[in-house]
Amino acid sequence: MGEDIIKINGSLGEGGGQILRTALSLSAITKRPFEIYSIRVKRKVPGLSYQHLQAVNATAQICNAEVAGNQLRSTDLIFYPGQIQPGSYHLNIGTAGSVSLVLQTVFYPLSLQSKPSSVIITGGTHVNHSPCVDYLKLQWLFYLKHIGFHAEIQTVRAGFFPQGGGEIFVKIAPVGLLHPLNIEDRGRLIHVNGISMASNLDMSIAQRQQSQAAKRLSEHGIYHEISLEDAPAFGKGTMLLLLGKFEHSQCCYFSLGGIGKRAETVADEACKEFHYFLKTKGVVDEHLADQLIIPLALAWGTSSFVTPKVTQHLLTNIEIVKLFLPVTVDVSGVPDGEGTVTISRKA
């Protein structure tokens, strides 16, 4: 078995945890073992954090894997997958680590089974450097359903950094036929829906976020509706999210509040990213671009879409996917500029 193991340099490209999570998902699906070294060595605190460790242990649990190196701060890991078992799982990160990233790790292996599964994950639902749960519901699942995946995500309570304590409940249905995704042009902007959320804080903060976002969008003549949400949570936090609906696609951007961060700044950050997207020919936002690589690599046929930014995160994820699946991936454009991503998998 040692000769067939895939060896991965964890410091490849941006060198983040996505390398590990992608390898875990595809190892479980393909039943190909892997060894990863130099895990997150470029980070201030190298190695596995609680979030990454939970992703490892959760994937090992669902596919009965044999694992070596699954300890906190470990920079080396060996993973031998077994048979995937659909069922009901309860995963507790134990910190404000991202529930979204742990979910995305186990989602595809469970989706490809003949029976449904359910997953409860506790941790951070709205934390920096990861998609918030609202983004998963409104943007990630929207595109996954077009590809052929089906799931429901319920936020039991929100969890912000540093307290965490959030919880989501996810129902995962077996997939049928997976379809490629081809969107050459997003079409005209129809409208923008938004959420201005606050938890365990005066709702005037959410109202200020709402007003500032409305002001920025109105300056560009954009029709919008931004709702207020007082979300139950373990700790305090805020969020402003914008979902742009086009004729043929949609994009999503959000910003989170923080200690000493003005409500107007939260709104301005989300609006700035959204307005940047409008200046490009992007079809999906740059954050979703790298999240689409795995599902589209699992679908037979050729997929193509335009991203407003060719991120290092995207390029790194592509390289890991190609280690496990017989796909051809071409990316036009320059780093941090617009680009077209083409993914082809043939029988």
Domain final position from 279, 295, 315: 279
Contact between 317 and 22 under an 8 Å Cβ cutoff? The reply is yes
Same domain, 265 and 225: yes
Q: Does residue 319 sit in the same domain as residue 272?
A: no
Q: Is residue 183 part of a domain?
A: no
- Determine the structural domain holding residue 253 and report its residue range: 189-279
- The whole-number pLDDT of residue 264 equals 98
The enclosing domain of 79 has a CATH number of 3.30.110
- The pLDDT of residue 25 is 98
What are the pLDDT tens digits along the chain (347 aa)? 445 899 999 999 888 899 999 999 999 999 999 999 999 998 888 999 999 999 999 999 999 999 999 999 999 999 999 999 999 999 999 888 999 999 999 999 999 999 999 999 999 999 999 999 999 999 999 999 999 999 999 999 999 998 899 999 999 999 999 999 999 899 999 999 999 999 999 999 999 999 999 999 999 999 999 999 999 998 999 999 999 999 999 999 999 999 999 999 999 999 999 999 999 999 999 999 999 999 999 999 999 999 999 999 999 999 999 999 999 999 999 899 999 999 999 86
79 and 90 inside one domain: no
- DSSP letter for 182, please: B
How many domains, in total, are found in the chain?
4
Task: Pull the structure tokens for residue 134.
Answer: 């609202």
pLDDT for the residue numbered 2:
46
- Evaluate whether residue 250 is within a structural domain: yes
Contact criterion met (CB below 8 Å) for 305 and 281: no
Q: What are the residue ranges of helices labelled H in the chain?
A: 17-30, 50-63, 99-111, 133-135, 141-147, 203-218, 263-279, 286-291, 293-298, 312-324
Task: Indicate whether 181 belongs to any domain.
Answer: no
pTM over the 0.85 mark? yes
- Burial label for 188, CB within 10 Å (0-12, 13-18, 19+), is exposed
Does a structural domain hold residue 32?
yes
Q: Do 112 and 64 share a structural domain?
A: no
Is residue 184, in this structure, part of any structural domain at all? no
Residues 289 and 275 in one domain: no
CB atoms within 10 A of CB 4: 8
Q: What CATH number is attached to the domain comprising 243? A: 3.30.360.20
Distance separating alpha carbons of residues 335 and 14, to the nearest angstrom? 12
State the pLDDT at residue 15: 83
Same domain, residue pair 260 and 287 = no
Query: Which distant-in-sequence residues (6+ apart) come within 8 Å of 340 by Cβ?
Result: 304, 305, 306, 307, 331, 332, 333
Residue 13 placed within a domain: yes
216 and 257 share one domain: yes
Question: Residues 261, 200: one domain?
Answer: yes
224: annotated active-site residue: no
CB-CB neighbours of 70 under 10 Å: 18
What is residue 347's predicted lDDT score, i.e. its pLDDT? 65
Identify whether residues 103 and 170 lie together within a single domain: yes
Tell me: do 93 and 116 sit in the same domain.
yes
Decide if 182 is inside a domain: no
Q: Is residue 311 part of a domain?
A: yes
Torsional class of 94: left (φ above 0), alpha (ψ -120 to 50), beta (otherwise): left
Final residue before a domain boundary, out of 142, 176, 210: 176
Same domain as 221, residue 206? yes
Written as one string, the DSSP assignment of 119-164 is EEEEEBSB-TTS--HHHIIIIIHHHHHHHT-EEEEEEEEB-BTTTB
Tokens encoding 35: 């060894």
Domain boundary among 176, 200, 215: 176
Which helix (H) or strand (E) segment holds residue 77: the answer is strand 77-80
Same-domain pairing of 8 and 78:
yes
